[in-house]
Amino acid sequence: MDAEAVFKRYDIRGRYPEELDEKFAERLGKAFGTFVVENDGEKVVVAKDTKESSEDLKKNFVMGLVSTGVDVLDTGTGPTDYAAFSGMKENCFSVMVTSSHMPLEFNGFKFMYPEGNGLLNEDLDKVKDIFREKDFAEDKGEIENIPTRMDRLYRSEILKLISSYENRAELRDITVVLETMGGATSKFLSDLLKEREIDLIDISEKDSPVIDPPNPKPENLDHVEEKVEEEDAYLGLATDLDGDRIAVYYDGKWLEGNQIFNILIKETRPDNIVASVDTSKQVEEMADRADADISYTRVGDPFVIDKTLEEDAELSGEPNGHYCFKELVPYNSGTYAALLLATANYNDLKYMPKRHNLRESVKVQDKHEKMEEVISKVEDRYEVISEVDGVKFRVEDAEVLIRPSGSSHKLRIIVDAGNEKEAEEVLGISEKLVRNS
């Protein structure tokens, strides 16, 4: 078993069964159980998504866990924020069997701290070292099935929190089209939206994913667009397989992630916001209008949510569709986001700040060496905004982020400008800077 192939930057992902299978899952359970024991833990919450392979992977992972003396609280099927919420309520680590929005041939595992946020790199590396060395703790733990109790608690907590926000659905004839992509949010989201008095058209496959990949990108959601237009619905909502991403279709187009972030700022009125450094300046401008403080951190949800806890921020997010509401749990929740977005006032979009974003990737031989060369040139030529993740700098009125990819030898370029023409010109300048460094 090649740990290097499946232990990724934030989680574990690989092709099933070629790269990870039931035998791998049991050994991983032993490794994570040993990590928990070494950190004075006694129990672990385990949940899974709706993928067929997730059931046997979870079963074998649990076998590995209990062999280390760790007790398992099995919450059954649900989104990843549900697993994190359950672990937070039980004051223990939690694990989700999922490969999120990856193609259906993949599966994997996500790990969360007792506070609810995802494991950081250094702790995932410790789990990998234990996995390699096979020096596992040995004892006998027990298994307790708690889905009924935890389902009820999760639902009631969401409804209690969401009731503090104005529900405008009853003021208008709102129809919403929902696509959960056969994923884990289907367990809760449809019923919760109906509780909000929304006329819901749920076109989701209930029991298992059928859209491959189960990623709520526009190219995978033509049928949602068609249904919204056919039913003259107010908007369409889509979540990914494990429910940590959300997409919104409104007025004939899919909103980009920064626009969704702005809508959520207006809906929740937070005092403190955390965003990944690739977030558009329009979000900062919206935060200013809302009289909220905004802090930036590295790209990647473990870093964003760790910063969320550090700053005690009520709202955090990334332009890829990840949004975290700490009042529920410090983990990205497509379920909670959907409930807020379903009754939001999208007419406000016309008054919100507008920017144009372009993204490009450049293959390089050594991303770390190339990144150092790029930073040196940028520091000589431009005003640097941030070096928290790669380098972010100004080119006239535009902002550019150049950062190393987390998974391949590429440099990512993100340009945020006032209009499309300026964005294209600055992207050309930035690509030349990378290629000539």
Of 53, 99, 100, 186, which residue is the catalytic one? Answer: 100
| Single-letter amino acid code for the residue at 230 | E
100 is catalytic: yes
> Is there a contact between 334 and 185 (Cβ–Cβ < 8 Å)?
yes
Kindly list the catalytic residues: 100
